[in-house]
Structure formats: C-alpha cells, structure tokens
Amino acid sequence: MMHRQDAPDNHDAAEERTAAAVRDLAGTVGEGLLEIDTVLSEVTTFHIGGPAAGLAHVRTSDDARRFLEFAGEREIDVLGLGGGSNLLVDDNGFCGLILRMEMTDVVFGPGTVRAGAGLPFDELIALSLAAGRPGLEFASGIPGSLGGAVVGNAGCYGHEIGEFVLEATLLRPDGSVERVGPEDLGFRYRSSDLKGSDTLLLDVLIHAEAGNVTAAVAERHEHLTDRLRKHPVDEPCAGSYFQNLAPSSPGERRRAAGALLDELGVRGWREGDAAVYHKHANIIVNLGRATCLDVLTLAGRMKAAVVDKFGEELVEEVRHLPRHRTGRGFCG
C-alpha cells in the first residue's frame, strides 16, 4: 500500500515507521542518493517548509522503481517532486520520502522531442528553439520541471503543455512502467489525472516540428521580459496562488482571480511575513520568514473576502503539502 491514512493519534506510529525506514534505506543506497531530514524550504520556490524524513535523488527509472517499491514495502508515504515551484510545504515538513525527479535526458526525433521529467521546463523550451523546433515558447519562464508542468498542465497566454504531449512514460505504484497517450492523461485546466495520483511521471514525448524559429525567439524574449516585470524577482513565491475562475457562460474565457482580488484591494495585505505581492493581487510572497501558517491564514482571508463580496469560491492553484497525508495521491 502506498499511502497511510493514519488518524492523528497514529501519527506517532507513522513518524517512527518512516524514520526507521529512511535510516535503513540510507544504509543500502549509494553515496549522495539519499538525504535525511532535508529542510524542504531549500527545495521549494516559496522557501517555506520543514524537514522531510528522507529526500531521494531519482536519476534513473531504476532509481524511481527501487525507491517506490521500498516505500510500498515499508508502508511510508512518498511525494514526487520537480522544481518545487507549485508547493506550499507544512512548517513541520513531510513525514515520508520525497522523490526528487532528476532525469534530464533530451532526445530530438523527427517532429518530436523526448525529455526526462526532471528537466527544467524552460530549459526544454530553450533547447527546442536552439534545435529549430518552435512551439513551446508561449511557456517561456515558467519555473519548475517538465514533469511538474505536465502533471499540472501548466500554461499561460492561452496555451497549455497538454496540447503538445504525445506520450508519457509512467511508473505505476505496482512497479510497472507504461507508455500512454494524452487521451489517458486527463488534461484539464491546471491539472491532469496524474495530479494527486499514485503514479510517477518519468519522461514525456512532446510534439516539436522543425520550423523557422525567428518569431518564436522574439516571442520568448517578450514573455521573459514580461515575467520579469510582473512577477516577483527577489521575493520567494509559488506563482499564482488561486486558479482563475470558470467562465460565466460556455465559450467565454476564464475570469482572472487576480481581477476579483484587485477589486477588493488585497495588494499589500499581510500575515506575519506572508504578503500579497504589490504588483499582482493573485501572488503571495514570502517577505523573509513567512511560515506555511502565515500563507494559509492570508489565503484564507483572501478567499473569505471573495466569497463575501462576489459569492465565488476561489480554488487554490498552489498545492499544500501537510506533514501527514490524510488521503491518497502524491500531494495534498
């Protein structure tokens, strides 16, 4: 079984079981493959979060299988981690094994590129343009890994990565490896069937026809410049905190959560060291020592204000990772 569903009074048992398992694992894996009690604020862009019982560096699909099988045998929780740019980790950290996906191979084929889930998404875009393959430039500057982008169907400027995915290699919890097409990945707005599932994404085959990249390179430059202007550069964050709202009627565009929040004047709202970014009402930044609780409290105030004024329920885009998992899936 992949995930414990311990009641709070069983958390002590989970802590002991997990710590013992991670110690045993450390005795069997090669040097540098496993870290104990790594503070997760160091591997997330929010720079928030306490220690994980273990953090394993996954550099091959064999590593992934081995760690996943071990976690299953010892009944400890796991979380697949990419760039940590969409996560809010609990102040107490994570009672489980973090599998940090670090496979970064890239192979261009006719009309395609296959890349490891751990490759930084923006690096794939830069490499594709350098290889004369336009298409992904709309996403220039999205932080994190290719895997995280596919799991969350990352997007902007009217496009999403899911439109370009031809195939994904998945590692199922039973240790089997499967290649599936996009129709089996359930892409939807900022999500896919992989999000919150027990499956690890190993690599992705992306549509990447050869073509003239002049316009694409210019578009990339424009988006990178725009992001530098609009997004926090010095203050840690995890991007847009809330999802945009469903369209009011079919065929219309989603309504920007930031626009509603702006009507409430939330820019500058603050809880401890968590604050709403002064240039963007839908981004929460860490001013230095923000805790997970600061962020959750601030986000809760923002949500409540939107319900009061507009009768709308905002849904979090950033995923909160508690210390103890209470449900199934890799996250939250």
Ligand X SMILES: Cc1cc2nc3c(=O)[nH]c(=O)nc-3n(C[C@H](O)[C@H](O)[C@H](O)COP(=O)(O)OP(=O)(O)OC[C@H]3O[C@@H](n4cnc5c(N)ncnc54)[C@H](O)[C@@H]3O)c2cc1C
Treating both helix axes as pointing N-terminal to C-terminal, what angle do 11-26 and 61-73 enclose, rounded to 10 degrees? 140
Q: How far is the CB of 240 from ligand X (least distance, A)?
A: 6
Residue 51's contacts (CB-CB under 8 Å, 6 or more residues apart) are: 37, 38, 39, 40, 93, 94
54 binds ligand X (CB under 6 A): no
156 binds ligand X (CB under 6 A): yes
Main-chain dihedrals φ then ψ at residue 4, nearest 5 degrees? -80, 150
Of 220, 240, 271, 323, which one is the catalytic site residue? 240
55 binds ligand X (CB under 6 A): no
CA-based nearest residue to 149, from 200, 83, 94, 198: 83
223 binds ligand X (CB under 6 A): no
- State which amino acid sits at residue 225: T
281 binds ligand X (CB under 6 A): no
Main-chain dihedrals φ then ψ at residue 37, nearest 5 degrees? 55, 35
Strands in the chain per DSSP E: 34-39, 51-58, 78-81, 87-89, 94-101, 106-109, 112-116, 155-156, 159-160, 165-171, 177-180, 200-207, 237-240, 270-271, 274-276, 283-286, 319-321
- State which amino acid sits at residue 98: I
147 binds ligand X (CB under 6 A): yes
Nearer CB in complex with ligand X: 132/180 = 180
237 binds ligand X (CB under 6 A): yes
Q: How far is the CB of 63 from ligand X (least distance, A)?
A: 12
Q: How far is the CB of 101 from ligand X (least distance, A)?
A: 4
330 binds ligand X (CB under 6 A): yes
Per-position x/- string for 68-97, each x denoting binding to ligand X as judged by CB under 6 A, each - no binding: -----------xxxxxxxxx----------
Q: How far is the CB of 223 from ligand X (least distance, A)?
A: 9
Binding site for ligand X (CB under 6 A): 45, 79-87, 101, 117, 142-145, 147-149, 151-152, 154-156, 190, 194-195, 200-201, 231, 237-239, 319, 330-331
